[in-house]
Structure 1
Amino acid sequence: MTNDIPTIYDVARLCGVSASTVSRTFARPDKVSAATSAKVRAAAEELGYAARFPAAVQRRAATKLLAITVADFSNPFYNQLVWGAQIASGHAGYELILADFHESSAREKAEHERLLDVADGIVIGSSRLSDPALRKIAAKKPTVVVSREVRGVASLVPDNASGIRAAMSLLHGLGHTAVTYVAGPEASWADAARYRAVCDASAAAGHSAQRIGPFLPTFEDGLGAARQLVDRPPTAIIAHNDMLAIGLMHGLQAAGIRIPEDVSIVGIDDVLASRLVTPKLTTIALPALQLGLQAVRNVVALVRGAVPKSDSALVMPVQLKVRESTGPARRAQSLR
């Protein structure tokens, strides 16, 4: 009688690896490369193969481990987010695994495939994946998404709209009738939300807004954005994040453009560097530490069987920190 149930050997033949490699992919994913893991899992899904582990392996898969993935750990915002997550994990009796996908959606997908096998729950920080891909992860493992609203998945977001409105009100009050938004990564949900808020606030005031980018949210890309603006600088800029804003400041100042006398600049995040630069950066302070704390508390609750009370994201308050990089709009004249 023919056995129609696919075996580990069928998966191995289909993807051209050994049976032991297929076994390690499911039982010890840390021992298999991301590319091999993706190939094996695709073959298993095509065949309808379901891995069957011994009891000892099943117990290892639930050993008080949580995971957090971030877009770029060199970004100081994520330092605070992870710190909050680590504090909350420790209080709940869990260890925390960190994965950095370096602004790559392909790498993010591979990291999540690995983590699904080793973590009890996952916190996803600023994902670059599609909503359906995130729902698929959440269907397999308790998941909380940060800085992104995904219907049907537990989500936490800072109040981007109110922060941008406060910054735009400040700039309009200083006489700026046009604001340039320097955009972050193209796949960033938060970036789209911030630019939409800039446009809404500008339209409500009868003013104009423009956008340049996208840029990576880094100091180096801020310098690049400055090079694009230096010949015809706007009077006011809101940048996707503080590091981009600080790069902009340095690039414009190096070209002889004064901050804020010639150009006012607002950042987003309130990282430590925003208070160390000259002039000190006006910024929208996001509650990164609190986001990390709350995200882990929520994912632990999901692991323990809680059901989200709402399909909407939990919105956390932000605060505009007015410092030295914003001032009255300059008179209409050439700076070059």
Structure 2
Amino acid sequence: MPSARRPHAVTITDVAREAGVAVSTVSRALTNPDRVNVVTREHVQQVAARLGYRASPAARALGTGRTATLALVLPDITNPYFAGLIRGAERQAEATGHILVIGDSEENARAEARMVERLAPGVDGFLLGSSRLTDARILQFDAAMPVVLVNRRVPAVTSVSPDQQGGTRQIVEHLVALGHRRAIFLAGPPESWLGRQRWAGISSAAKKHGLKVKRLGPYHPSVEGGLLAGEAALADGATAVIAHNDLMAIGALKRMKARGVSVPGDVSIVGFDDIFGADFCDPPLTTLSDRTEQAGRSAVDLLVALVREQARLEHDAPADIVAPTQLVVRGSTGPAPAPPLPTTPGSS
């Protein structure tokens, strides 16, 4: 029995032969149609469709200088916080006719820079999520290619970031309303721009509302980092703990439970990000929520616009979107414990 033969892939040469035009004319008609008169363009496109011709990404790149591919680089793709960002970016990339590739820099600025350099020849632009790069390095990349920052702001670079000033104010006001007078901030990686913004916002709001707050860390932004941070928080004796992110907050909550400390009876705990599972904790976690999926969609739209502006040599002022945040109050925060009654001489 003869073996089945693989069907012949239609090439640009096949289209040119069938249409009775030069290969270069087919290339222009399919990748740069404005350079071909309307009659020839429609004829070539009809022949290509009838033959089932599909241009490869490489062929399109040769014709247009673009690959229809975008890159999203993240510091830790295992962090549940980035799930919404990835989902939003992927869906919007598909909606705009692009492919999205994702890279993990493992919380390392050098690895992030190498990844951008390696991917640059094959993509039209970059989404840098929670970038660990310095401002100067980001500006270098932005000068060479379209770049959109997510969860990071650098002057003159297009960005989408959550409102940390308003969000941290909500956290502080919530704790003060519950009667807390001393709090601890468990800091994450020193390279984290969001972490620095969170500490700055907490410090400012705490000063305004008379809340004494102390910074401990840095700690790794994970449950394991939260376990260590929770131990340090216990030694300090504050009645409220604000963690760099939900993973650390969950780790601190686990440490409190293991030590027999009641949450929120003895200590209230607040996180950031409202990741999937934050409401599954025992007790459910109070946390600051931002719209990560919408941020991913907005970032892709901004990047696609930058790519098109680059092709037209028209550049508008960089967009700087600050997205709203909202405190989600759950069971991990409650009234501050009453101070112990003073002892009197002679009392037993």
TM-score by length of 2: 0.77
Q: What SS is found at the alignment partner of 1:75?
A: coil
The equivalent residue for 1:324 is 331
Q: What corresponds to 1:45 in structure 2?
A: none
Q: Say whether the 8 Å CA contact 2:173–2:209 is kept in structure 1.
A: no
Among candidates 184, 206, 210, match of residue 180 of structure 1: 184
Question: Structure 1 residue 156 and structure 2 residue 134: aligned?
Answer: no
Aligned to 2:23: none
**Is residue 104 of structure 2 the alignment partner of residue 84 of structure 1?**
no
Give the whole-Å Cα distance in 2 for the aligned partners of 1:259 and 1:55: 60
In the alignment, which residue of structure 2 is the partner of 1:11?
none
Is 1:135 equivalent to 2:139 in the alignment? Answer: yes
Q: Deviation per CA, 1:138-178, whole angstroms, max 9, x where unpaired?
A: 11111100111111110111001111101110100000112
Match of 1:228 among 225, 232, 239: 232
Residue in structure 1 matched with residue 320 of structure 2 by the alignment: 313
Structure 1 residues 95, 275: closer, same or farther in 2, change over 3 A? same
Match for 2:273: what amino acid?
A: D
Q: Give the whole-Å Cα distance in 2 for the aligned partners of 1:276 and 1:213.
A: 26
Instruction: Tell me how far 1:206 sits from its aligned partner.
Output: 2.3
Q: 1:275 to 1:333 in 2, by over 3 A?
A: same
Distance verdict in 2 for CA 1:316–1:309, change over 3 Å: farther
Q: Is structure 2 residue 110 aligned with structure 1 residue 103?
A: no
| Alignment partner, residue 3 of structure 1 | none
1:318: how far off? 0.8
- Superposed CA deviations along residues 237-277 of structure 1, whole A, max 9, x for unmatched, are 11111111000000111011110000001111011110111
Instruction: Compute the displacement of 1:333 (Å).
Output: 4.6
List 4+ stretches of structure 1 deviating above 2 A: 54-62, 229-233, 306-313, 331-334
Offset of residue 112 of structure 1: 0.7
Aligned-partner Cα distance in 2 for 1:201–1:232: 21
Tell me, yes or no, if structure 1 residue 265 matches structure 2 residue 272. no
Deviations 1:96-132 (A, max 9, x none): 0000001011100100101211110110000111111
The answer to whether the Cα contact below 8 Å between 2:184 and 2:238 also exists between their aligned partners in 1 is: yes
Contact preservation (8 Å) 2:163, 2:325: yes
C-alpha distance in 1 between matches for 2:330 and 2:288: 11
> RMSD across aligned C-alpha pairs, in angstroms?
2.0
Deviates most, 232-241 or 216-225: 232-241
Q: Give a deviation string over 1:178-212, Cα, whole Å, max 9, x none.
A: 22111111001110000001110111012211100
Question: What CA distance in whole angstroms lies between the structure 1 residues aligned with 2:90 and 2:202?
Answer: 34
**1:217 Cα deviation (Å)?**
1.1
- What is the CA–CA distance in structure 2 between the aligned matches of 1:232 and 1:76, rounded to whole Å? 29
- Match for residue 68 of structure 1? 72
Match of 1:170 among 161, 167, 174: 174
- Aligned CA distance change for structure 1 residues 61 and 105 (closer, same or farther; 3 Å): farther
Q: Among residues 190, 193, 196, which one is paired with 2:197 in the alignment?
A: 193
Q: Which amino acid aligns with 1:107?
A: A
SS at match of 2:277: helix
SS in structure 2 of the partner of residue 128 of structure 1: coil
Q: CA deviation at 1:311?
A: 4.8
Residues 208-235 of structure 1, C-alpha deviation per residue, up to 9 Å, x if partnerless? 1110011121011001111222233310
Question: TM-score, normalization: structure 1?
Answer: 0.80
Distance 1:308 1:269 in 2: 33
Q: Letter of the 2:224 partner, please give it.
A: E
3-state DSSP class of the match of 2:121? coil
- Tell me what 2:29 maps to: none
Task: State the match for 1:13 in structure 2.
Answer: none
Pair 1:288-2:292 in alignment: yes
Preserved CA contact (<8 Å) 1:154 1:308:
no
The alignment covers a number of residue pairs equal to: 281
**Where do 1:14-25 residues align within 5 Å?**
none
How far apart, in 2, do the equivalents of 1:314 and 1:333 lie? 47
Distance between the aligned counterparts of 2:273 and 2:303, measured in 1? 24
* Structure showing greater Rg: 2
Contact 1:61 1:118 in 2 (8 A): no
Alignment of 1:209 onto 2:216: no
Deviation at 1:62, TM superposition (A): 2.2
Q: CA 1:83/1:215 → structure 2, altered by over 3 Å: closer, same or farther?
A: same
Q: Percentage identity across aligned positions? A: 37
Q: 1:95 to 1:192 in 2, by over 3 A?
A: same
Aligned equivalent of 1:116: 120
